[in-house]
Amino acid sequence: MDTPCRNLCTLDAARVCTGCGRTIDEIVHWRSMGDEARAAVMARVRDFPVSSPPSLPPGRPVPPSS
């Protein structure tokens, strides 16, 4: 099963990823979760809003893209 990770990983104060909507426990245990548990998480975060990637502080150069 796919992962809901969007590579925008930042935890909020409630320890929920602002990129995908999973809790830290769901992220840590994702690979060991059963298919039903993963499907339940996927259904819950399906419509989670996409957050913007963090921006650089003013005056910092933009890193070159790879």
Residue 39 within a domain: yes
Amino acid at 52: S
Tell me the CB-side half-sphere exposure of residue 64, using CA atoms within 13 A: 1
Domains in the chain: how many in total? Answer: 1
Residue 58 within a domain: no
Residue 36 within a domain: yes
* Beta carbons within 10 angstroms of residue 8's beta carbon: 14
Condensed to tens digits (0 to 9), the pLDDT of residues 2-41 reads 899 988 888 999 999 999 999 999 999 999 999 999 999 9
> Residue 33's pLDDT is what?
96
Q: Tell me the whole-structure pTM to 2 decimals.
A: 0.70
What's the CA gap between 27 and 5, in Å, rounded? 9
Which of the pair, 47 or 22, is modelled with greater confidence?
22
Supply the range of the domain harboring residue 34.
Answer: 1-52
What's the CA gap between 47 and 17, in Å, rounded? 14
Residue 11 within a domain: yes
